[in-house]
Amino acid sequence: MKTYFNIYKATLLVLIFFSLTPTAAQVTTSGKGYTLVVKGYDWGPAVNKVILPNQRSITETNASHFSVTVNRSAEGVAMEPEISTGERKVVYAYVSDSKGNRVTEGHHITLVLFVGPDDVLGSPIKYIRTKNRGSNQWIDYRLIINHKPSGKIWDNEQGRIMPEIDTFDLSGTYSHNDITLSYASFTPQNDSDKWPLIIWLHGGGEGGTDPSIPLIANKAVNYASEEIQALFGGAFVLAPQSPTFWMQSASGEYTRGKEDDIYNEALMAFIKTYVAAHPEIDTDRIYIGGCSNGGYMGLKLLLQHPDYFAAGYISALAYQNQFITDEQVRSIKDIPIWFVHSKDDQVTIPGETVVPLYKRLKNTGAENIHFSFYDHVIDITGFFGGDDYRYNGHWSWIYSHANHADFDFDGNPVLMNGRPVTIMEWMAGQRR
């Protein structure tokens, strides 16, 4: 009898253990694949989570029980082994619902994956050069997730959640004189009769026909974030996309401002059409900004339409100062503009672009002109090295997207009504 009792007790303990812990017996695939979660970071997008369906309901899980392998590829593109295949580090795991929200008990497991600016395997996009130009593109991104105790495998993507991009409408197109622009748009949800409009113009690597790229390749999605939206009391966000690059001249080559580009007419027509179609937009609070190529185009539209915009915010300006006349400088001296640039930018050399232009504007008597001139572009989060980690010096748009810029060319804080402000706080206070 004692032997039978011991067998019964041991069996009961095993059953209790299996009911509380997601062991090999409980982690079972449901015949479906995984769901990727893609988030925008200062350096670009990364797959930071993967959601796994599980047939049985569970209450606990263990990160060490999983391995994740990634395969990155793009048709016709040769990719070095170190950036195409490897292991993704699982830093945490929890029981969740199908959207990755934590629950006490559920049928899904969410794995949190390590991401970082140097962790190329985390990125679902790649800068690809074709036909003498480069652009960021979504690539084929495949995971193989193995639950080591049970041998269960998830190896087929069934969905993709992109929390920031998913708040935008990506379906917009506009045609003008044989030029078609794609665009992404965000509509505020809070109660108001009128909202301002924030226009963002992408850099040279984000052209094409997929407006999700200009949003996520360098975190322009942040203009729709709760933090920035709160500063404006809600704002429309508009991200037009050039089919190629904003600085394309009629010859197909880059213009630095000497020759006209082929897109500014269509772009301005689109902006006016969009504003007319949305009477909720406050036409006295239309702001335009951009980085690099987009900085060129933002300044171009300010020069051409100095009475239309309430303010400009321009980073890594690519417009060459030598091609801006004194008359043009005088035409924009009363437009509030905030420039952001890094001293070590080797792509848009500050001494050839923003520094002399800023000084010329100040010399004309421009009063509401600001310039945050950084020594380097660093990790402002502090998670990846802080001051000791340097991004490419061209990436000064990081400081704009993160609403980080808060000082002027002389190093002193920018003040508004006697109070220090950030670039977005300042912009929210500007009216035409």
What is the per-residue pLDDT for 192? 80
What is the per-residue pLDDT for 193? 87
Interval 230-286: pLDDT, tens: 999 999 999 999 999 999 999 999 999 999 999 999 999 999 999 999 999 999 999
Q: Are 293 and 247 in contact (CB under 8 A)?
A: yes
What is the per-residue pLDDT for 3? 41
What is the per-residue pLDDT for 368? 97
What is the per-residue pLDDT for 196? 98
Amino acid at 405: A
**Domains of the chain: residue spans and CATH:** 26-161 (2.60.40.2180), 165-428 (3.40.50.1820)
What is the per-residue pLDDT for 66? 98
In angstroms, how far is CA 219 from the centroid of its own chain?
A: 2
Count the helices and strands in the chain (H runs, E runs): 10, 21
What is the per-residue pLDDT for 391? 98
What is the per-residue pLDDT for 1? 42
3-state secondary structure of 154: strand
3-state secondary structure of 5: helix
Residues pairing with 94 in the sheet: 110
Q: Are 196 and 236 in contact (CB under 8 A)?
A: yes
Interval 179-208: pLDDT, tens: 999 999 999 987 788 999 999 999 999 999
What is the per-residue pLDDT for 12? 39
What is the per-residue pLDDT for 129? 87
d(CA 64, CA 70): 17
What is the per-residue pLDDT for 28? 57
Token couple for 149: 């105790």
What is the per-residue pLDDT for 133? 82
pTM of the model: 0.91
What is the per-residue pLDDT for 26? 57
Token couple for 249: 């001249």
- Angstrom CA distances, 24 to 35, 64, 66, 67, 106, stand at 21, 13, 11, 14, 16
- Angstrom CA distances, 78 to 65, 73, 74, 133, stand at 33, 8, 8, 16
Nearest residue to 296 via CA among 326, 260, 336 = 260
What is the per-residue pLDDT for 253? 93
Which ranges of 198-338 would DSSP assign to H, the alpha helix? 212-216, 226-232, 264-277, 293-304, 326-331
> Which residues of the chain, if any, have pLDDT below 70?
1-31
d(CA 115, CA 48): 6
What is the per-residue pLDDT for 244? 96
